[in-house]
Structure 1
C-alpha cells in the first residue's frame, strides 16, 4: 500500500473521499427511487390503455366480439419511441385479436380468475417488455375475456437517465467546486507551516533562539512550543558543553604547562641527582593528566549510558560493595587510614549497570581516602531495611555547608582543598546515581568533621 507523504493531499483525500462516497450512495438510492416512480407512472398508463381497450370488447348474440377499425388500432399502437402490443382472448373462444406471442407468465394455465390487474415482465424479439392483463366479462355473456397490453421499455429508461443525470451532474460539479475550495483552504491553512519551514531553513546552525508563535493557529502553536522546548534543551546542552570544554582545557593547561617547564629544566641539567625532583614533578603531572583523562572518559561513558537507556541488570549490592572495599584496602593502608565495611549477611539485590556502579563506589571511596588525614578512619555502612542505604563517612577536611550543593557541578573544587583533583569525581557520581534513580545525600560528618555521603535506593531499584 502506497503511503501518501503530502499532508495537503492526505487532508484533501480524507475530505473528498466521504463526499464522493456519499454521492455514489445517493446515486444508487436515486436510481432505485427513480425507477420505482417511473415504473409506477408508466404502469398506470398501461392500465389506462388496457382499460380503454377492454371497453371495446362487446358481446353480440351471446358471443364475444372485438370490432375496432384498423385505423383506430394503428392510432392505439402508435409510439415514436416504444412498440405497443396487445392481445385479446376469451375462455371459451380462445384468441380473438392482437399479437399471439404475448404471454403473461403471472397467469398460469389460462386461469381466468384474476381479481386485480396482473403486471408482468417478459421479452419479445429479444427486447424486454412490461405488460398488464385484466379480465372482464362482457354484458349479456358469461365468457371471461383476458385483455393484455404490453410495451417496450425505451421511454422508461430514457426518463430514468434524464432524472439521474439531472441529479448526479450537479452533485459532481458540487464536489469539484468543494474540492477546489478545500484545496485552496488547505493550502492557506498550511501557510504557517510553510512560513515556519522557510524560517528554519534560513537559520544558522548556531541560532537557537525561540521561534515566534504569534499569528499562528493553536495546532501549530503546540508544535512551535515543542520545538522551542527542544531548542532550549539544545541551548542548555551547548552551554554545558562549552563550559565543559573550557574547564577541561583549563584543567589540562596547568599540568601540561608544568610538564613542559619541568621537561625544559631536565634538558638543561646534566646531573642525574638534580634531575630527580624535576622528573618526580613530571611524573605527578602525567599522573594528573591520566587521572583527568580517565575521569573525562568515565563521564562520557555515563552520559552515553543515559542516552542509550541501557538495560539495568540484577546486581548483588552487598557483594559488589564488599569487593570494591577490599580493592581499596592497600591504598588506604598506604595512607595510614583505617577502612571498614559493615553490612548484613544477607544478599541485597538491586538493578543497575555494574561497571558504572563500581565506578561510582570508586569515586566516593577515593575521595573519602584522598581528603582524609592520616591516622583517621573511613566507615562504609550498608543497610537493607526498610530500603537499601549505602553510607560512606570520613574524618577528612570536610566540606563547608555553603558548598554542599555545588560539589556535584563539573570541575568544581572546594576552595580550601589542597589536594590534587580535577573536580569531576562527584559529577560522575551524580550522573550515575541519576541513571540508577538513586538519591544522593551529602552532609557534614559527626561534630561537623569530615563528610558523610548517603546513597538512598528507592523500592523500584530492588531486583
Structure 2
C-alpha cells in the first residue's frame, strides 16, 4: 500500500541560509566601514592635494611682489595673470590687499580672510573657507612685509571645489566598487560551494522520493558530507528496523492464515458429515437445514478470507523483486483468469464479455498475480454490479497496456471512491451484509498492480454509469 506523500513542513532555515546570513551581516558591516573610510580617505587626500597646490600658487604669487617708492607692486604679465585665473572646471581668483584688507591688485571681489588669519600667515601660507560670488571656495593667504618700508601686504588665492568633489567621488568609487564586486563574487563562490557541498544530501532525498514504499535498502553513504554520515546511518538503522517489523507482521499474517485453514476445512467437513448423518436418521430438515446452511456459508466465507489474507501477504513479498516481472502477452492471461468467473456469471444469469484485439498486447506483468487482480475485480463486479460486466484490454501508445473492468451496477457514492481500496472496507454498514465478500480483493488488486509498476483508478457516477476500474501496465 502506497501512502500519500506527507505535507512538507519547514521547521527552520536552510543550512545554506544559516551559513550565509552571518557572513552577509559581517560583509555588510565591513562594506559600511569601507564606505565611511573611503569617504574620509578621499576627502582627506583630495583636500591635501589641492590645498598644497593653493599654497604653492599663493607662494609663487607672493614671490612676484616687489617694493618701490610708490608701494608694493605685483609684477605679473598679462599671460601669467590669465594662467593663474583660468581653469576649465573651477573658478579661480587672486588678490593682493593691504593691512586693512583693501585690494591693491587682482580681483576686488575675492574674499579676504580675517586680520588674525592674515597676521598668522607671515611665516607660511594659511588656508581658509569662504564664498566667492555665491559659490563655496577654498583659499590660501600669504602675508609679507617690506624689508625697508614699514608696510605689509597679503596675497590671496581662491578656487571653487568642483575638482575636489570629482576627485573625492572617483576615489570613493575606486575603493567601494572593487569591495562591492569582490564581496559579491565571494558570496557567489561561497553560495556555490555550500550548494555543491549539500548536493549529496539532495541526491539522497531524491533517491528516497523515487523509491517504492516497500524499498527498505540502506541509503548510500558515498559522497555524503562527513557531518551528515551519523544522520544517514541512523536513518538506515531505522529503515532496517521498519523492514524487520513489517516482515514480522507479514509472516504473522501468513502463518496465522495458514494455520487457520486446517481447522476451518475441518469445520466444513464436519458440517457436511453432520448433514449426512441427520439426513440418514430422517430428522426434520426444517429444523436443522437452515442452521447447517448458515454454518456452511460462514465456513466458506472464512475460507475465502483466509485465502485472501494469504494472497495479500504473498503478494507483498513475492512482487518486491523486479526479476519476477516479465514482458508478456496479457490477452491469454486475462482470458484464462476470467474463464471461471464467466461460468459463475452464466449460472447467475449474468454475462462477462472480454473485448481484446486480435494481436498480442505486450506489458510488464506476473502470470500468477495479474490473474489474481482480474479475478478479484470480476468477483467484485459480480457481487455488487449489474447484469453486464465487460473486460477490455488495449495497447497504449508508447508501450504498455490498459485493462478496464466495468459493470452497469449502482456504483458507489463519489465521496467513497478513495476508500474502495482500503482493507476490509465494503461500504456503509458492511457488518450487516451477507454477500460473502472479504473486503480484501480490491486491496490485493491495487497492491499487485503497484508492485508491477502500474496504476489502478476507479470511476463511478456521474463519470460512468456503474463502476469502472482502469489498470495501466508499463511496457
Normalised TM-score (structure 1): 0.48
Normalised TM-score (structure 2): 0.47
